[in-house]
Chains A and B, each alone.
Chain A
């Protein structure tokens, strides 16, 4: 199948760390992506990781990749109210001519409690 799986909701307290998990499907994916979508808006690329990396850190964001289990996670340190959004995990989709688009999960709603 082509389903990228994510939990639908995550609730954290302001200042805590948030960890959003994703299971992807294609072991040959060269890149894996995290996108953020705020209400009524388009998609903002947060970060991506090459498949030959286990970890990538970018300021408050840490991406962990477990290729054996096809598991990707996004950790947001010191979560703020502005982090409240839907977070999508995405992997490339491949056809005969190579990568031709992205397959997205259903998204994880990150809810911040004061």
Chain B
């Protein structure tokens, strides 16, 4: 059984561009959450989606948005990229809203 898969694994973007990151949860998991991990820090919560509805939002600007599809996969979108958005973006899935399994992440570099 596949774990949480994220794509792409690495990405380089220019300031001002927009980016879309993708996540496929473990089969049967209906909840997906997104985290940003800046180098040297712990992951910071961005969003959680459950059954395609936003359940929670962390302290991130409106440039960050997400959605969840009928198959429970999810996309994280970031507009108007800043250098400070460079980070490892982690996706986690769970059956309900606890018991989180993380993917390997997408490393985003903004230049």
Residues of A within 8 A of B (CB): 4, 30-31, 33, 35, 41-45, 48, 88, 92-93, 95, 97-107
Asked if residues B90 and A42 are in contact (CB atoms below 8 Å), the reply is yes
Q: Which of A42, A48, A95, A99 has the most CB atoms of chain B within a 10 A radius of its CB?
A: A42
Asked if residues A106 and B55 are in contact (CB atoms below 8 Å), the reply is no
Interface pairs A-B: 7 shortest CB-CB: A100-B56, A104-B42, A101-B45, A42-B104, A43-B102, A100-B48, A42-B102
- Report, as a range, how many residues of chain B touch the other chain: 20 to 34
Residues of B within 8 A of A (CB): 33, 35, 40-45, 48, 55-56, 58, 90, 92, 97-105
Tell me the interface secondary structure of chain A in the complex.
Answer: strand
Q: Chain B contacts of A48 at CB under 8 A?
A: 99
Q: Kindly state the separation between the CA atoms of A27 and B98 in the bound complex, as whole angstroms.
A: 17
CB distance from A100 to the nearest CB of B (A): 3
CB distance from A85 to the nearest CB of B (A): 14
Asked if residues A106 and B41 are in contact (CB atoms below 8 Å), the reply is yes
Asked if residues A97 and B41 are in contact (CB atoms below 8 Å), the reply is no
Q: Chain B contacts of A100 at CB under 8 A?
A: 33, 45, 48, 55-56, 97
Asked if residues B56 and A43 are in contact (CB atoms below 8 Å), the reply is no
CB distance from B1 to the nearest CB of A (A): 16
Q: Which residue on B lies nearest to A43, using beta carbons?
A: B102
